[in-house]
Amino acid sequence: MNAYTLVTGGTSGIGFAAAEKLIEEGRQVIITGQNRARLEAAAEKLGCMGVVANSGDTDSVRALAKQLRDDNIRLNGLVLNAGVFIPAGFEETTEASYDETFAVNTKGPFFTLQALLPCLENPCAVVFVSTIAVDKGFTGCASYAASKAAAEAFVRVANIELAPRGIRINVLRPGVTATPIQDKAGISDSDKQALFNHMETMALGRVLTASDHAGTISYLLSDASIAMRHAVIQVDGGYVL
Ligand SMILES: NC(=O)c1ccc[n+]([C@@H]2O[C@H](COP(=O)([O-])OP(=O)(O)OC[C@H]3O[C@@H](n4cnc5c(N)ncnc54)[C@H](OP(=O)(O)O)[C@@H]3O)[C@@H](O)[C@H]2O)c1
């Protein structure tokens, strides 16, 4: 059986657009999501396999890995994309929102990669979807930025430890991208529009869309990037120029 590429958080936004492109390119794709209805709808639209797995719950992540092992599914690509954004000023950030952010954005990719190791082929390319907020201060993003920075740090170490198994991991840092994440974060329509309008003043001249990231993800999964380890590719429309 041909190997698969698994995209966590493939039900919408960047993960969905990446899955769509990878399927167009002839890959067999599996998507995950935490919400069964959204997962089934997305998998049907893409014409691919979908597995419910909550990135913030290690039992659920281990169950995903067991299902793949039981079904003899091998992965030659993995996109660690599932993530949440819970905006809050530093002073207002609650312990609960901090814990949820780190559970999904940091612990999630850490234990997803660990649990899936027995399913990964040699070689296997892994992409971690981070954020430009790691490197650029945005108000309201303290725990979010910290969660992604912490994950980038474990990715660096994993690149060394997992290299003998043919596993390489690279990082995509998207800039502000119009996806369902803004609505899920409770950002008002007027604030969202103001943010998107601000993006029109950047070099790209418009807010990024999810499909703007699909080519980078495809490249980082492909043999064209075979010599890259912990490369950090920032796709931000010129935000930090
Ligand atoms: N949009 C931006 O401006 C932006 C900028 C920088 C970085 N990013 C990063 O890009 C990634 C994708 O975000 P997006 O903008 O495409 O947002 P999105 O449309 O909200 O997609 C997020 C995906 O993650 C999944 N997800 C969320 N919580 C999960 C959990 N606990 N377990 C499993 N899956 C979960 C969602 O699945 P469900 O449908 O099941 O909830 C969905 O498929 C995230 O890691 C985000 O931090 C986004």
Output the pLDDT for position 2. Answer: 80
Does residue 14's CB lie within 6 angstroms of at least one atom of ligand 1?
Answer: yes
Q: What is the pLDDT of residues 53-97, one digit of tens each?
A: 999 999 999 999 999 999 999 999 999 999 999 999 999 999 999
Reduced to 3 DSSP states, what percent helix, strand and coil does the chain have, rounded to the nearest 5?
Answer: 50, 20, 30
Q: Is residue 240 part of a domain?
A: no
Q: Is residue 181 part of a domain?
A: yes
Residues 6+ apart with CB under 8 A from 14: 81, 129, 174, 177, 179, 210, 213, 214, 217
**Residue type at 82 in one-letter notation:** A
Q: Helices then strands (H, E): number in the chain?
A: 9, 9
Q: Is residue 192 part of a domain?
A: yes
Per the structure, the count of domains in the chain is: 1
Q: Is residue 57 part of a domain?
A: yes
Question: pLDDT at residue 207 above 70?
Answer: yes
Residues 6+ apart with CB under 8 A from 139: 89
Q: What is the pLDDT of residues 131-159, one digit of tens each?
A: 999 999 999 999 999 999 999 999 999 99
Output the pLDDT for position 240. Answer: 85
CA-180 nearest atom, ligand 1: 19
Does residue 30's CB lie within 6 angstroms of at least one atom of ligand 1?
Answer: no
Q: 119 CA to middle of ligand 1, Å?
A: 23
Q: Is residue 33 part of a domain?
A: yes
Q: Is residue 102 part of a domain?
A: yes
Does residue 13's CB lie within 6 angstroms of at least one atom of ligand 1?
Answer: yes
Q: Whose CA is nearest to atom 14 of ligand 1?
A: 13
Q: Is residue 27 part of a domain?
A: yes
CATH, residue 124: 3.40.50.720
CA-177 nearest atom, ligand 1: 3
What angle separates helix 214-221 from helix 13-24, to the nearest 10 degrees?
60
144 as an active site residue: the answer is: yes
Query: Which residue segment(s) compose the domain that 83 sits in?
Result: 4-235
Tell me if 154 sits within 8 A of 113, measured CB to CB.
no
Q: Is residue 241 part of a domain?
A: no
Output the pLDDT for position 175. Answer: 97
Tell me if 178 sits within 8 A of 171, measured CB to CB.
no
Does residue 106's CB lie within 6 angstroms of at least one atom of ligand 1?
Answer: no
